[in-house]
Structure 1
Amino acid sequence: MSSDKLKSRSEQEWLRGFLAHHPELCLGKLSGLDPKWAQAFNEVTVERHFELLRQVMDEHGIPWEHVYNMDEKGIHANFKLVTAIKCMSADGRSLKPAIIFARKDICMSQNGGTAIAQKISDAPLLLIYGGHSSHASPHIVELARQHNIHLFCLPPHTTHKLQPLNIGTFGPLQEAWVKQCDGFVNQHQKEMDQKDIV
């Protein structure tokens, strides 16, 4: 018997023993993209989305500098969820992020408050966001109306491709967050606490 087979058998025995001692764990296979997401991201849906976006911008005279995109990312620290909310303009300007802790406390940037969207004219602002139900509560819709902000929801199950912040900001954030947590654990010999996220 080759040493490779012995090693493989030894690893398999170790894994079986480990799983026997930890019944709360189970083996599984990675799943691909959820079929409803794959089905929703199609040429007709995408074309319709951009057609509606152009219509709204043309109808209300909204320049690209007034188009903002908002998204959120859940970050885990010591098994507690913290939500980071980010908003950027189509021309690359970034508002300061907000961090929401499980207790519903909100932490803004260190210099206080959040940046205000910069307007180049009196034209309304357009805020593009994902379709999560918490994003368009009646209170948010009313606030947007009062401040001359048009809300524009991305098509359902397409944010994996159409949400710019999901792809350009939160993807790299996730990679950086994992490295930061690993460095913190190596340095302090404990998991990062919620208060250390900001």
Structure 2
Amino acid sequence: MKLFDILEQLVDKYKITSNTIFNVDESGYYSTVQKRKQKIIAQRGKRQVEGITSGERGLLTRVVCCVNTPDLYIPPMIIFKRKRRAPELGIGAPTGSIYEISASGYINSELFIMWLKHLRSIVKSGPKKPVLFLLDGHCRHGKNLEALQFAKENYIHLLQLPGHTTHRLQPLDVAFFKPLQNYYVQAQESWMRSKPGTPISV
């Protein structure tokens, strides 16, 4: 596969090690209300089984995460779909996280550059420490001229995974986002059960 040839060339040319290769991915499955139906255990033959769910529509919040193989986890960028920034949005976020807003709820060119600067401030890339970021194949911002210029000036190499292959090549999908989604739904259900007067669906 051409991807691995390019990866090998980058690693050899710039002396990149496993400590300076990072996987980057964006996920947007975190709704402000419960979306997925919970598992309910009931007696066989029972016709009505109660479960707690939300009747609201809710909004999706996107999270951009970045990790490397050994032990470094970059605090995420959290993107809220709204027009005005509010300090309350950062309450409870992992230490060091940055939170931003966009009208569409998706990362845009401006936010992508902010995210690159956030990464640079943590990984401290430079002439003696070039880094490689493996991006999702659907990321359109890898062609952003300003972002490419910033990356070049700061010894950051961007390599996009081929489209429709991240379920195989992107470890964040399987090892991080999937369990996180499960825990997120559990936390939503626990919160709803703790609220008195919550309507119950049948």
| TM-score normalised by the chain length of structure 2 | 0.63
Q: RMSD across aligned C-alpha pairs, in angstroms?
A: 2.7
Deviation at 1:163, TM superposition (A): 0.7
SS at match of 1:62: coil
Matched-pair contact (CA < 8 Å) for 1:65–1:119: no
Structure 2 gap segments, 5+ residues each: 34-57, 99-117
| Structure having the higher Rg | 1
Matched-pair contact (CA < 8 Å) for 1:69–1:165: yes
Match of 1:177 in 2: 184
SS at match of 1:101: strand
Match of 2:128 in 1: 122
Q: Distance in 2 between matches of 1:169 and 1:100?
A: 18
Q: Which runs of 4+ in 1 moved over 3 A?
A: 104-115, 118-121
Of structures 1 and 2, the one with the larger relative CO (CA 8 A, separation 6+) is 2
SS at match of 1:85: strand
Structure 1 gap segments, 5+ residues each: 1-46, 192-198
Deviation at 1:171, TM superposition (A): 1.0
Matched-pair contact (CA < 8 Å) for 2:137–2:161: yes
| TM-score normalised by the chain length of structure 1 | 0.64
Q: Distance in 2 between matches of 1:65 and 1:121?
A: 15
Q: Which has the higher strand share?
A: 2
- What is the 5 A alignment of 1:14-29? none
Percent of pairs identical after alignment? 29
Match of 1:76 in 2: 31
SS at match of 1:95: strand
Corresponding residue to 2:74 among 89, 92, 95:
95
2:8 maps to a residue whose letter is R
Corresponding residue to 2:137 among 131, 140, 153:
131
